Amino acid sequence: MTHALTTWAGSHTFTGGPVVHPRTVAEVAQVVAGARHVRALGSRHSFSDLADSPGTLVVLDRLDVPTVVDAAARTVTVGGGVRYGDLARDLHAQGWALHTMASLPHIAVAGTVATATHGSGDTTVNLAAAVRGLELVGAGGQVRTLTADDPELAGSVVALGALGVVTRVTLAVEPAYDVAQEVWLDLPWTTALERLDALTSSAASVSLFTDWRGDRVGQVWRKHRVTPGVTWRLPEPGDELAGARRAPGPVHPVPGADPAACTTQGGAPGPWHERLPHFRLDHTPSAGQELQSEWLVPRAHAVAAIGAVRDLAPLVSPLLQVSEVRTVAGDDLWLSTAAGGDRVALHFTWHPRRAEVDAALPVLEAALAPFDARPHWGKLFAATGDALRAVHPRWDDARALLARRDPDGVFTNDFLRRTGLRD
């Protein structure tokens, strides 16, 4: 049975039914215990059949779980369906912060960590790496709590919904801080590639926006942490920005889009949650109608991988709204796109031309294959079984964990079978 329940950008209509909106963890457990097949949905910021179900769809938008800060442990426990932007406002009001934010604050916590979604920065691990505990409703309706010292936690955080419905997530927090954001235009590609390490280390977070055409990077966004008690001055550009020019006013990363949707630029310091995302919580995220893909490559392969994509500009650029290049620090989560070492992320925001994008994906993946590229789980990619296993060293461990915790395949769907994580 198909319901008119779509991804946030309208790019995919979820299959499954019935659709339920439980209000308590006990209700989630009751639903899971009584269903043959279940998948969970949060903010529906995905672009594929990742969350499709041959049975029940559990939507977490009404789950009533209090947000609780443990100041001594420096953690916050929050309901899985809460959006990061809402959590951030709540945390900031109490004097706390997360270590990073994704470019969109509109995304829900459980789905974000389940797919290893990330922010940016040479020393900034992805959002999933901040998880210190999970509460999830597994097969049979069993409610389990995994703490930071649980040997299964590293395999359960980035699990693509395959272990159950995540109802609570415990995240590391730190004292609130300010961030200042500045934008530069038309950076020569020669400078960007020759001085890539200096460029990405020149601020807490650095993003390069490009359409892969020509000899210049369209925009460079830098986000700086502001040290408390120290007078803030916008830094000089440095050699890493030689040949670029400072943006004369606010810009949107998608050419022609209204910059009013973007967080404050121009170097004015402000609260961390109002600068780290690219987009404001109360505006349309990104371009709105779009598709997305992303691959992450080891830092050592970054320049070569960027070159491989630039060579494909005649194929890629006509389908593209904009691309973003960012860095992510490594972590130890089994299915994380940054597991085992630092990565450079190559992100693609496509026009909503699904058939043409689908045709381009295997060409892009073939070009990136020599660089051990891992696709972002929540976006569009073509790779399956053996190709994914080859770039995830803990793949077999993850498969074994999923099979052991869900032997009857309650949370299995076509996406998991196609990728090879489930039989």
Which CATH code, of 3.30.70.2740, 3.30.465.10, 2.60.40.720, 3.50.50.60, is assigned to 68-176? 3.30.465.10
Please name which of 223, 262, 273 lies closest in space to residue 101, comparing C-alpha atoms. 273
The CA distance from 58 to 38, in Å, is 7
Phi-psi region of 143 (alpha: psi -120 to 50; beta: other; left: phi over 0): beta
Phi, psi of 329 (to 5 degrees): -75, 155
Provide the pLDDT for residue 8: 82
What CATH architecture does domain 178-375 belong to? 2-Layer Sandwich (3.30)
Please write the tens of the pLDDT for every residue from 126-139. Answer: 999 999 999 999 99
Beta strand 320-328 with 143-146 is unpaired
* Distance spanning both ends of the chain, measured CA to CA: 23
Provide the pLDDT for residue 42: 87
Provide the pLDDT for residue 388: 98
Provide the pLDDT for residue 126: 97
Query: Is the link from the previous residue into 105 a cis peptide, with omega within 30 of 0?
Result: no
Amino acid letter, 394: R
Provide the pLDDT for residue 3: 47
Amino acid letter, 310: R
Provide the pLDDT for residue 396: 98
Domain ranges of the chain: 68-176, 178-375
Instruction: List CB contacts of 312: < 8 A, sequence separation 6 or more.
Output: 212, 363, 364, 367
The CA distance from 75 to 133, in Å, is 10
- Is 224 in contact with 243 (CB distance < 8 Å)? no
Residues comprising the chain, all counted: 423
Please write the tens of the pLDDT for every residue from 255-290. Answer: 999 999 999 999 999 999 999 999 999 876 665 689
The CA distance from 116 to 259, in Å, is 27
The CA distance from 227 to 352, in Å, is 42
Residue ranges of the chain with per-residue pLDDT less than 70 = 1-4, 284-288
The CA distance from 206 to 122, in Å, is 9
Provide the pLDDT for residue 409: 98
Placement of tokens 């829900």 in the chain:
108
Provide the pLDDT for residue 2: 40
Provide the pLDDT for residue 1: 38
Question: Quick one: DSSP state of residue 83?
Answer: B
